[in-house]
Amino acid sequence: MSVILLNDRSTRLYLLAILPAVLALSFCESSAQAHNWDLVDFVDNLDYRDIVFADSLHGMAAGNWAEYGRPTIRRTQDGGNTWESVLELEIKRDQEGNFVSLPTRFHALSHPTPQLAIAVCDSGTMYRSYDSGTTWDVIDFDFDENFRDIYMSDALNGMASTNTNLAFHTVDGGDSWNRIQIPQNLKLFDIAYFDGEEIMWKTVKSDGVGFYVAKLNLTNNSWTVYPTPQENGQLYFVTPLQGWLVGFDAGNDKIHYTTDGGESWSSALDEKIDPPFGLVSINFADETHGIAGGLDGKILRTHDGGKTWIVDHSADLLSAYQAVTSVDYISPNLAFAVGNNGYIVRYEAQITSVDEQDLKSSPNAAFIYPNPTSQKITISTPWHCADKHFELFDSAGRTVIASSGHAGTEQYIDVSTVPPGVYHVHISGCGESSAQKVVITR
């Protein structure tokens, strides 16, 4: 039912009209929760494919109107407060409505500096701006392959790849592009990392079975290929060694991470979640702070390098817009996300949130001990009221234990039957709320 409703334009506009009021009600229950996802821009019927920021102020988002309408790039220069369209490609039709020119769609965008931006499209075409998107020049390649991705590591060095096995390298900001020889048994997908010397792709082999990490060292032109533990999803590396893979496979939402460049992988999430998150996008601000987005609008966050993930409930209302197609985590306190219903949302953490706050630093904070624990935890609070609530959440954001407290300052929770792992305890009552990570061992 939700999909039918959201495909109706008047319903989507109604949701957008009431969203600010609903958001205010959702977050008024706790003064400590000061990080929110807020709608900052909406263009009806624009399906966004990518969002990239050069710094905390300068960002661009690329998308396509329904049915090959107008491929569009929108720009902000004030940290997402205001957005404007800086490139709209008109697709010409004849009087009968047939296409006069081959349709073009944006697939990916790179924005390495506030001045430079390059978008890749269908039919071997790029659009490049040297002046923050004010003017654009067209770079045409002599083939009809569709570009799939582009990754500029800085203002000069970049890689672009098509949806077959073509790849191109530039060292002059896109003035010239040299073709890279790709092994015949590989088909390239997304570019996961590029530092000017080493590039990493998500690939499949010619037999179409499984996904792989393919690494090319440009210095010695050597290739290394490692299998991944998932059949689909997005691959992202923050260094040549540290990377993550998110996806939805065999009914399970999955997140894997590697610390050796893809040679081996560890599982951080592999569960059948109802309803499924449908994870499709991931981005990291640094080696520690990461965000993953799903097709149902869910947002997961990690603060330990992707080993554990929690559901960001401040983003729950984004599910009204459906898919999170791209995320960009600029800093631990700033992120943006776009989706296929024309929205751009911004995450800002002005102070520590309820979900991750350090409880020992506040005089009104709760204290949980022992931690780690294997049998029980004691929750001690300075709050004196009869209405206290305690919840233990797992890494998928599901409630494992819920209980109510009493007028005393200590509450005991038996965790002896809870599987080992990393959990979060949320405590609320007396007009206060707090949270803390708890490790359960055996």
Instruction: Calculate what percentage of the chain has a pLDDT beyond 90.
Output: 35
pLDDT in tens, 374-389: 888 888 776 666 677 7
- Window from 105-109, 149-153, 265-269, 350-354 with minimum mean pLDDT: 350-354
Residue 278's pLDDT band, with cuts at 50, 70 and 90, is confident
pLDDT at 131 over 90: yes
Which whole number is the average pLDDT over 20-28?
Answer: 34
The answer to whether the CB of 259 falls within 8 A of the CB of 215 is no
CB atoms within 10 A of CB 409: 15
Per-residue pLDDT of 221-269, as tens digits, reads: 899 999 999 877 899 999 999 999 998 877 788 999 999 999 999 999 8
Q: To 5 degrees, how large is the angle CA 295–CA 419–CA 371? A: 105
Q: Is residue 73 scored above 90 in pLDDT?
A: yes
**What is residue 99's predicted lDDT score, i.e. its pLDDT?**
66
Which of 145, 148, 126 is closest to 137 using CA atoms?
126
Give the span between the Cα atoms of 14 and 5, in whole angstroms: 11
Q: How many C-beta atoms surround the C-beta of residue 13 within 10 A?
A: 11
Which pLDDT does position 102 carry in this prediction?
59
- What share of the chain in percent tops pLDDT 70? 80
* The dihedral formed by the CA atoms of 136, 142, 147 and 153, expressed in degrees to the nearest 10: -60
pLDDT band at residue 134 using 50, 70 and 90 as cut-offs: very high
Residue 352, pLDDT score: 36
Average per-residue pLDDT for the chain = 80
Q: Write out 341-374 in H/E/C secondary structure.
A: CCEEEEEEECCCCCCCCCHHHCCCCCEEECCCEC
* Predicted local confidence at residue 386, as pLDDT: 65
* pLDDT tops 50 at residue 429: yes
pLDDT of residue 406: 58
The predicted structure's pLDDT at residue 157: 95
For domain 359-440, the CATH class is: mainly beta
53 or 190, greater pLDDT: 53
Q: Which residue has the higher pLDDT, 262 or 368?
A: 262
- Give Cβ neighbours of residue 344 (< 8 Å, ≥ 6 apart): 39, 40, 41, 42, 48, 51, 61, 74, 80, 83, 336, 337, 338
pLDDT (mean) for 52-80? 89
Rounded CA-CA distance 317/339 in Å is 13
Amino acid at site 270: D
Which residues make beta-bridge pairs with 236?
Answer: 244
Q: How many CB atoms lie within 10 A of CB 194?
A: 24
Q: What is the mean pLDDT of residues 92-119?
A: 83
What is the C-alpha end-to-end distance of the chain, expressed in Å? 44
The pLDDT of 281-297, averaged and rounded, is 89
Torsion, Cα of 12, 37, 291, 48 (10° steps): 40
139-168 pLDDT, tens digit per residue, is 988 887 889 999 999 999 999 998 777 899
Residue 182 has pLDDT above 80, yes or no: yes
Instruction: Kindly calculate the radius of gyration of the chain based on its CA atoms and give it in whole angstroms.
Output: 23
Q: Which amino acid is at 156?
A: L
Phi first, then psi, for residue 362 (nearest 5°) are -110, 140
Tell me the two tokens of residue 391. Answer: 């919840």
* pLDDT score for 384: 65
- Tell me the mean pLDDT in the region 326-331: 92
SS (H, E, C) the chain: CHHHHHCCHHHHHHHHHHHHHHHHHHHCCCCCCCEEEEEEEECCCEEEEEEEECCCCCEEEEEEECCCCCCEEEEECCCCCCCEEEEECCCCECCCCCECCCCCCEEEEECCCCCCEEEEECCCEEEEECCCCCCCEEEECCCCCCEEEEEECCCCCEEEEECCCCEEEECCCCCCCEEECCCCCEEEEEEEEECCCEEEEEEEECCCCCCEEEEEECCCCEEEEEECCCCCCEEEECCCCCEEEEEEECCEEEEEEECCCCCCCEEEEEECCCCCCCEEEEEECCCCCEEEEECCCCEEEECCCCCCCEECHHHHHHHHHCCEEEEEEEECCEEEEEECCCEEEEEEECCCCCCCCCHHHCCCCCEEECCCECCEEEEECCCCCCCEEEEEECCCCCEEEEEECCCCCEEEEECCCCCCEEEEEEEEECCEEEEEEEEECC
The superfamily CATH assigns to domain 2-349 is YVTN repeat-like/Quinoprotein amine dehydrogenase (2.130.10.10)
| Domain definitions of the chain by residue range | 2-349, 359-440
Omega of the bond leading into 370 within 30 degrees of 0 (cis) = yes
Q: Of the given ranges (116-120, 312-316, 326-330), which has the lowest mean pLDDT?
A: 312-316
Q: What angle do CA 265, 266, 272 make, to 5 degrees?
A: 115
* pLDDT of res. 327: 94
How much is the pLDDT for 67? 62
Split at pLDDT 50, 70, 90, the class of 6 is very low
Q: Using 50, 70 and 90 to split pLDDT, how confident is the model at 395? A: low
The answer on pLDDT for 341 being more than 90 is: no
DSSP-assigned beta bridge partners for residue 124: none
